[in-house]
Amino acid sequence: MSSPEAPSKPLPESVRGSWQRFLDDYEALRPELYRYSRHLTRTPWDAEDLTQDTLMRAFVTLAQTGESPPNPRAWLLRVASNLWIDRVRRNREPLEVEPEPAAVEPRAPREAAGTLLVRLSPQERAAVVLKDVFDLTLEEVAEALATSVGAVKAALHRGRGKLVEAPATETAPAPPATLNAFCEAFNARDLPRLQALLLEGASVEVVGVSTEYARGAPSKILWGMLFGSERLADAETRGGVEARFVAKALPEPPRLEARWHRGEWLLLSWYAHADGEAVRAVNRLEISGDRVARVLNYFFTPDFLAEVCAELGVPFRSNGYRFWLTGC
């Protein structure tokens, strides 16, 4: 029996090409998808997770159905709604959260919908956001949530009555020693010391782009985080980001700065530019004991970066969504 012929292209290469084509087609909807995800979730990183998961689910669904949706915007919001509601139910998050006894002032639905909606059930939260933020009709909301118009009206009535502004107070604890060690090694451009801080099998991820696992070999992603500024500054000829996003970037290696935000430590990557420093990436570490179990590098996530940097009051520069160039 003869062996089957090898495919003309390795499977990962073929899949990646289809994935990039899909992202190209849906790129215009990504800011709106992130904004919707942000209204549903508690934090910017949860919103970015939901955005990435929605895109992956949509990609698989398109491959299975073989047909383009007649209304891509509404369809993508529906995929996000279903994913988020399923996730909340699976994690058994409480459907109702009683207001705390602190004195708060009610806010108008359209304004309050952009703040914390954690007091609403999943169905109420999605209904309020789709109707009051995205201006969908009752029929469109019902279709997005796979329910009836009557159920949407009831969810809107209940949800709008619960919208209040929550007081925001948080005190930064001392940063863990491992986080300080990671910052020091990064700012010393010491890749071996960074690598030594990773647990065996730790994951290092450029969110939405690539993931690798520590197996003793030097991390290409950590190297890129340290020295990728050289390619960024010369992106017009070397690629990596679209030339329009270079924005006077210089080839100097970036520096890390720890900032406490929304209940956890973030590491801001400050890049040098001809007109001053700006943040081009935000990093999150998951620490286990005295080692790093996971590194998340938010670089090709412009909506996430814009929100986090605005909340921190720091300048930022966008890298766009793509690490490839259209037509390449």
Q: What mean pLDDT is predicted for residues 44-62? A: 94
Strands in 264-271's sheet, in edge-to-edge order, are: 210-213, 198-206, 291-298, 278-288, 264-271, 255-261
The two tokens of residue 92 are 């058994």
What is the reported pLDDT for 325?
Answer: 55
What is the reported pLDDT for 113?
Answer: 40
Q: How confident is the model at residue 109 (pLDDT cuts 50, 70, 90)?
A: very low
For the stretch 21-35, pLDDT in tens is: 999 899 999 999 999
Q: How confident is the model at residue 74 (pLDDT cuts 50, 70, 90)?
A: confident
What the chain holds in terms of domains, given with CATH numbers, is 13-96+105-160 (1.20.140.160), 177-312 (3.10.450.50)
Q: When comparing pLDDT for 127 and 36, which is higher?
A: 36
Task: Give percent of the chain above pLDDT 90.
Answer: 50
DSSP state at residue 108: -
What is the reported pLDDT for 106?
Answer: 37
Helix, strand, or coil (residue 134) = coil
Q: Is the pTM of this model over 0.75?
A: yes
Q: What mean pLDDT is predicted for residues 33-57? A: 93
Residue 107 has pLDDT above 60, yes or no: no
For the stretch 60-71, pLDDT in tens is: 998 888 788 888
Place of tokens 């919208």: 163
Pairing of strands 198-206, 210-213: antiparallel
For the stretch 145-164, pLDDT in tens is: 777 888 888 878 777 666 64
What is the reported pLDDT for 100?
Answer: 35
Q: How confident is the model at residue 99 (pLDDT cuts 50, 70, 90)?
A: very low
Q: How confident is the model at residue 6 (pLDDT cuts 50, 70, 90)?
A: low
Q: How many CB atoms lie within 10 A of CB 125?
A: 25
d(CA 141, CA 74): 9
For the stretch 260-294, pLDDT in tens is: 998 999 999 999 999 999 999 999 999 999 999 99
The two tokens of residue 29 are 């909807």
Cα angle value 56/42/124 (rounded, 5°): 85
Q: How confident is the model at residue 16 (pLDDT cuts 50, 70, 90)?
A: confident
Cβ contacts of 115 within 8 Å, gap of 6 or more? 107, 165, 166
Residue 110 has pLDDT above 90, yes or no: no
Q: How confident is the model at residue 188 (pLDDT cuts 50, 70, 90)?
A: very high
Amino acid at 228: G
Q: How confident is the model at residue 310 (pLDDT cuts 50, 70, 90)?
A: very high
Residue 319 has pLDDT above 80, yes or no: yes
What is the reported pLDDT for 120?
Answer: 72
